[in-house]
Amino acid sequence: MSMTFELQAEPRADQGKGASRRLRRAGKLPAILYGAGKDPQSITLDHNAVKLSLEHEAFYSHVLSVQMEGRTEKAILRDVQRHPCKPFILHIDLLRVSEDQAIRVHVPLHFVNEDTCVGVKTGGGMVSHQMVEVEVECLPRNLPEFLSVDVANLKVGDSLHLSEIDLPEGVSIVALSHGPDHDLPVVSILKPRGAAVEEEEAGGEAAEGGEEAEAS
């Protein structure tokens, strides 16, 4: 079941570092809401509520409902500023979205069937992730929470590329719009360590044998 996230916001008039520090001491989080052809608006959120939401992977790839003064605005998370040493959120940026305008969002990749992967189960290979998220473009209503990458049929030495990911209707991968050179591998099944060493040793022995034959 897909999650939903609601943020309770208040307009913020006070600006500057001093005002932001006062807000944080009061358990509030300064933020900005911008985009969709409207003026940017400084807002205040509850720090602990946002911090809790940020612990959910889905929060980063969801259309959020921002409740403020009896109205609701739809937005996506664009940036998070964290304290370098303490577990505090300093500021977040929220980008308004319109139902008829495409958005670009990074969504996580979920790798499935790794334990039954052919290359792992019968070939002794290891799963190597080249990516853990990918940028997609779609209308807000089509935004996926994540993309599944099925590795069940990959053999040792195989790789699965961006173009092979199953996409929901209305969703495209941004990188692929730049041409075939951007169809990069997402996950690969590496050879077992022992097999790689044996191949190197076998190659070395073959080279030595060739040198001996030439010398004779």
Mean per-residue pLDDT of the chain = 90
- In this structure, are 118 and 184 located in the same domain? yes
**For position 1, what pLDDT does the model report?**
43
Handedness of CA 12, 79, 63, 39 (dihedral sign): positive
Residue-range definition of the domain harbouring residue 172: 103-196
- In this structure, are 21 and 86 located in the same domain? yes
Question: Is the pLDDT confidence value at 204 over 60?
Answer: no
The band of 214, judged by pLDDT with boundaries at 50, 70 and 90, is low
Query: Is the distance from CB of 44 to CB of 23 less than 8 angstroms?
Result: yes
- In this structure, are 15 and 73 located in the same domain? yes
Helix (H, G, I), strand (E, B) or coil at 40: strand
pLDDT in tens, 72-120: 999 999 999 999 999 999 999 999 999 999 999 999 999 999 999 999 9
Last residue of a domain, one of 72, 96, 120: 96
Radius of gyration of the chain (CA): 25
Residue 205 resides in a domain: no
Residue 41 resides in a domain: yes
- In this structure, are 80 and 109 located in the same domain? no
**For position 198, what pLDDT does the model report?**
54
Alpha helices for 7-46 (secondary structure H): 17-25
- In this structure, are 81 and 142 located in the same domain? no
Which whole-number Å values give the CA distances from 29 to 26, 49, 73, 88, in the listed order?
Answer: 9, 10, 18, 9
Number of structural domains, the chain?
2
Q: Which tokens sit at 70?
A: 């009896």
Calpha distance 191→185 (Å, rounded): 16
Averaged pLDDT, 186-209: 67
Q: Do strands 126-129 and 147-150 pair parallel, antiparallel, or not at all (unpaired)?
A: unpaired
- The CATH number that applies at residue 123 is 2.170.120.20
Closest CA to 105 of 85, 80, 133, 128: 133
pLDDT in tens, 20-44: 778 888 889 999 999 998 999 999 9
- In this structure, are 107 and 32 located in the same domain? no
- In this structure, are 70 and 12 located in the same domain? yes
Whether pTM exceeds 0.85: no
Residue 47 resides in a domain: yes
